[in-house]
Amino acid sequence: MIGIIDYKAGNLTSVARAIQYLGFKWMISSDPEKLRKCERIIFPGVGAARSAMESLREFHLDEFLKEAFKKGIPIFGICLGTQIVMEESEEDGGTKTLGLIPGKVHRFPDPLIWNNEVLKVPHMGWNSVQWLRKHPVINGLDPDFEYYFVHSYYPKPAKEDFILGYTFYGINFPSAIIYENLIAFQFHPEKSGRPGLLILKNFCEWKP
């Protein structure tokens, strides 16, 4: 069973449809007791870090995620769910987050300029990822595949070892991070067509 965390900040329907299409059983819940019965956890998200953290604390999902991580349960972060696993976000003047991966979340520079052109923030649309090394969750991906992004902030882990892939948008930013049984992507696999489905399938079969 794949547990999809409902903390009032997730793109839950699209994620659930993708998992169902792939043939895996899933459940959406904000109840830690129900989620503890799941073999894997997907931590999706859209919105702001501070309000997301408030919801996580309200439902005791912050404690659940830390517990699941320590137990070695495979965890998959998406977009805001990728940022929340870091220690702190610059959003809203500074927000303490879960701290599962050492590092901080930064906003794109303002202005964000490339080749004398001011780039729009949020970064929205299709972009590629430069994968740094092999990993079971990205098996079978063509280097030319592109993925769907919508974000103004990005994770910056404390160690290069935690970075699985970079994306360029005015700057090179980490778009895929990995630490033990936790893997997370700044883009939306559930909205990225065939390559995104392959990532989700690989995660559902991954044994850290």
Which residue out of 106, 123, 151, 188 is catalytically annotated? 188
Q: Is the dihedral of CA 184, 190, 196, 198 positive or negative?
A: positive
Q: What are the Cα distances from residue 68, in Å, to 20, 71, 158?
A: 23, 5, 22
User: The tokens 């931590």 sit on which residue?
Assistant: 43
Tell me if residue 60 is catalytic.
no
- Cα separation, 182 vs 199, in Å, equals 14
Which residue out of 38, 106, 123, 190 is catalytically annotated? 190
Which residue out of 38, 79, 123, 204 is catalytically annotated? 79
Tell me if residue 79 is catalytic.
yes
Report the length, in residues, of the chain: 208
- Antiparallel, parallel or unpaired: β 26-29 and 2-5: parallel
Which 3 state secondary structure label does DSSP give 21?
helix
**Residues sharing a CB contact under 8 Å with residue 27, sequence separation 6 or more, in sequence order:** 1, 2, 3, 4, 34, 38
Tell me if residue 188 is catalytic.
yes
Just list the catalytic residues: 79, 188, 190
